[in-house]
Amino acid sequence: MAEYKVFIDGSSGTCGLKIDSYLGTRRDIEVVSTNGVRRRTLNERKRSIENADIAFLCLPDDASMEIVRELSDDCRIIDTSSAHRTEAGWVYGMPELTSSQRDKISRSNRVANPGCHASGFIFLVKPLIEAGLIRPSSHIMATSLTGYSGGGKKMIADYESEERIGEKKSPACYGLSQQHKHLPEMQVMTGIENPPVFMPMVCDYYSGMLVTVPLMPDMFINAGSDDDAGQGTVISDDGIEPEDIRRIYERYYGDEPLVIVNKNTIREGFIYASSMSSHDGIEIMVYGNKERPIVCARYDNLCKGAAGAAVQNMNIMLGIEETKGLDIRQ
């Protein structure tokens, strides 16, 4: 008999379906559903959430805010929308963010799941800010490649249609107004003073994400000054070795079960954005050279970037082994 009842509000969407697939193999979890035509009514959904140990909200932002207003504080919620990620009273659902984040998640009834693009950026930038390597006032640039599954059912149908237009066989940039909905959490959770210049791109493959952040010389704490570069990192007048940056990540993420810090810092060739597809972890990579290091995060936009992260948060909130039901192959 299942120990816990879980409700997925928005179970027919891409993220909801993925969460359901994770939980479908779990004997300790019963996924409850509403019945018939009543399944879409607010009151029926509210009752289902109240009767569950935890509920996932896999809804558009407005719908998420609407249902949350109807719920008591006792209801335990994991919201996968962007509605509450920087909202007071909500805990950001990235266990690896700080040493105290797991405890905050475990005790909270309101957990906001991170955004897919934002996850990679935060994993890359937060340790460098905390180590004192780069200034919070830095103007940071980032690019992010994602598979088309990140756009939901409509985008998936468009890309997989036999009538697909030829342009969709090439990468497409979006978020051109620099108002992408992930920017607030990228700024708040890293502690940077300015929103990053961010260029997301959707490409012609199903799943996988690659976030890249170049580190420019004017971002570093001044070499030869009295500023503390943090944790023994040595910055000379002409830059910092990629290997020293990699060590910062190793120290920060330690034995994190879902974070892989790639040991190869100097390599020619290609980085493929889909290499972590179906994996629930995130890979951190450091490339470039002493003058122009490049840091990269590679993961699956539907797994560590969405549904897998939500299941990880659920496990923590229920006091279950954090990685239960997740693929943590190294």
Catalytic residues, by residue number, are 116
Task: Report how far Cα 94 is from the mean position of its chain's Cα atoms.
Answer: 7
Tell me the three state secondary structure of residue 161: coil
The Cα–Cα gap between 307 and 137 comes to 32
Beta strands in the chain (DSSP E): 4-9, 29-32, 54-57, 77-79, 91-92, 110-112, 141-147, 172-173, 197-203, 209-214, 259-261, 282-288, 293-299
Name the 3-class secondary structure at 95: coil
Q: Nearest to residue 322, comparing CAs of 251, 257, 255, 252?
A: 257
Alpha helices in the chain (DSSP H): 14-23, 42-50, 61-69, 101-107, 116-130, 152-160, 183-190, 242-253, 308-318
Q: Give 62's contacts (C-beta < 8 A, 6+ positions apart).
A: 83
Token pair of 193 as six digits: 């003073």
Question: SS3 of 143, please?
Answer: strand
Q: In the chain, helix, strand, coil percent, each to 5?
A: 35, 20, 45
β-bridge mates for residue 172, sequence order:
202
CA distance linking residue 212 with residue 168, whole number of Å: 22
Q: From edge to edge, which strands make up the β-sheet containing 197-203?
A: 172-173, 197-203, 141-147, 209-214, 293-299, 282-288, 259-261
CA torsion sign for 304, 307, 308, 313 is positive
